[in-house]
């Protein structure tokens, strides 16, 4: 049986860098989803926050 890896990442983005971050993360998510062994890769904005995000990966 293979072991699944789950990775959770919390990020806080400086308000003046948010548009740059959005462009960067879009490419990162698409690339990671296409990688061999990736089961899921989600990027979420935390509820009630303007600059906090969460990435949840399953490998």
pLDDT, tens digit, for every residue of 22-44?
A: 889 999 999 999 999 999 999 99
Helix (H) or strand (E) holding 18: helix 18-34
In a domain, 1, yes or no: no
On the question of pLDDT at 1 being above 90, the answer is: no
Look up the CATH number of the domain holding residue 34.
Answer: 3.30.70.100
Give the chain's domain count: 1
Q: 14 by DSSP, 3-state: which?
A: coil
In a domain, 49, yes or no: yes
Report how far residue 10's alpha carbon sits from residue 43's, in angstroms, rounded to the nearest whole number: 10
User: Residue 5 has what pLDDT?
Assistant: 94
In a domain, 54, yes or no: yes
pTM for the whole structure: 0.80
Domain region containing 35: 6-58
Helix/strand number for the chain, H first, E second: 1, 3
Q: For residue range 3-25, what is the model confidence (pLDDT) as tens digits?
A: 889 999 999 999 999 889 988 99
In a domain, 22, yes or no: yes
User: Residue 3 has what pLDDT?
Assistant: 87
User: Residue 10 has what pLDDT?
Assistant: 96
């Amino acid at each position: 049986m293979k072991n699944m890896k789950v990775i959770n990442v919390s990020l806080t983005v400086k308000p003046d860098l948010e548009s740059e971050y959005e462009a960067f993360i879009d490419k990162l998510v698409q690339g990671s989803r296409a990688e061999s062994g990736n089961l899921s890769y989600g990027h979420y904005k935390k509820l009630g926050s303007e600059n906090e995000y969460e990435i949840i990966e399953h490998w």
